[in-house]
Structure 1
Amino acid sequence: MSQIWEYKDGTRRRWRSTREDDSGGQRWKVLVHIPTNEVITSYEVLEQKLLELGWERYLSTANLLQFHKPSSVDLISVPSDFAKLKSMHMYDIAVKTRYVFKVRDP
């Protein structure tokens, strides 16, 4: 993506487009369940899909949800607030559940 620079009060800074979040990373990615082509819109939907794959709800705190698959050493950790789910969390899920989830632009 090209960069746009803004000059204000004698200083130069990079202008963020609307497709970037506050941390400077890309946003607007979605997690997609490949077999149904369904976009995951809540943790209830995600948990249902993970339970079907043999994942179990593991430790949960006020800030963190975790899922574990007993047949592996993999652990999926996501923020307890779905609105704080970032693309790095989505890619973590996609890598640990190959051919079931993918991350894409909407």
Structure 2
Amino acid sequence: MSGVWIFKNGVARLVPNAIDATEEMESQSKRKVLVHLPTNQTITSYADLEQKLLALGWERYPNEDPHLLQYHKPSSPLHLISLPRNFSKFKSMHMYDIVVKNRSFFEVRDISA
């Protein structure tokens, strides 16, 4: 039997699909939001995010994948941010990727579910 074991309150249960397990773990933990520090604005859409990234020197990177948005910094060829095109699939791992590459400008915060 394959899947991922989820432990909650001392009880273990098997979630058959790893994607379901990831969503289950995220729903059990606190929700996270990406915050633009200079304005203290919570990023609620890709339009908001793109505006902030463009101001920091990021550019939209052309790609062939219809499910992916990418941004790169021309001054640093090693920096590439890849995001799901659908904002509802924007998860904490994507937020932390943005924070790591823009430490002084973004932060991930917990909010109550």
- For this structure pair, what is the TM-score category when the shorter chain's length is used for normalisation? 0.7 to 0.9
CA distance in 1, matches of 2:109, 2:93: 12
Q: Tell me, yes or no, if structure 1 residue 96 matches structure 2 residue 101.
A: yes
CA distance in 1, matches of 2:9, 2:107: 30
* Partner in structure 2 of residue 17 of structure 1: none
CA distance in 1, matches of 2:48, 2:24: 27
TM-superposition CA deviations, 1:50-91 (whole Å, max 9, x none): 000010000243110000000112000000000001100000
1:67 aligned to 59, 65, 71, which one?
71
* Partner in structure 1 of residue 4 of structure 2: none
TM-score (norm 1): 0.79
Q: Is the 8 A contact 1:29 1:87 kept in 2?
A: yes
- Give 3-state SS (helix, strand or coil) of 2:88's partner: helix
* Partner in structure 1 of residue 25 of structure 2: 24
- Give 3-state SS (helix, strand or coil) of 1:35's partner: coil
Q: Which runs of structure 2 are paired with 1:1-106 in the superposition (5 Å)?
A: 3-5=8-10, 13=13, 22-25=23-26, 26=29, 28-60=31-63, 61-72=65-76, 73-106=78-111
Percent identity reads 57
- Give 3-state SS (helix, strand or coil) of 2:49's partner: helix
Q: Is the 8 A contact 1:32 1:40 kept in 2?
A: yes
- Shifted more, 70-79 versus 56-65: the winner is 56-65
Deviation of 1:21 after TM superposition, in Å, equals: 5.7
Aligned residues: 95
Q: Mind listing any 5+ residue stretches in structure 1 that lack a counterpart?
A: 7-11, 15-19
TM-superposition CA deviations, 1:18-54 (whole Å, max 9, x none): xx96252445100000000000000000000000001
Larger helix fraction of residues: 2
Q: Mind listing any 5+ residue stretches in structure 2 that lack a counterpart?
A: 1-6, 15-20
